[in-house]
Amino acid sequence: MPSRKGIRKIDSPEVQGEDSWVRLRQPKGRDMKEAMQLREDMIEAGAIEQFETNTELLRGYIVGWNWVDDDGKDLPQPQDAPDIFDELTNDEITWLTEHLMGNPESGN
First vs last C-alpha separation in the chain:
24
Tell me the pTM: 0.78
Give per-residue pLDDT as tens, 17-29: 999 999 999 877 7
Q: Is 22 left (phi over 0), alpha (psi -120 to 50) or beta?
A: beta
User: Within 13 Å and on the Cβ side, how many CA atoms surround 77?
Assistant: 11
User: What one-character-per-residue DSSP string does 41-87 give?
Assistant: HHTTS-HHHHHHHHHHHHHHHEEEE--B-TTSPBPPPTTT-TTGGGG
Mean of per-residue pLDDT scores for the chain: 83
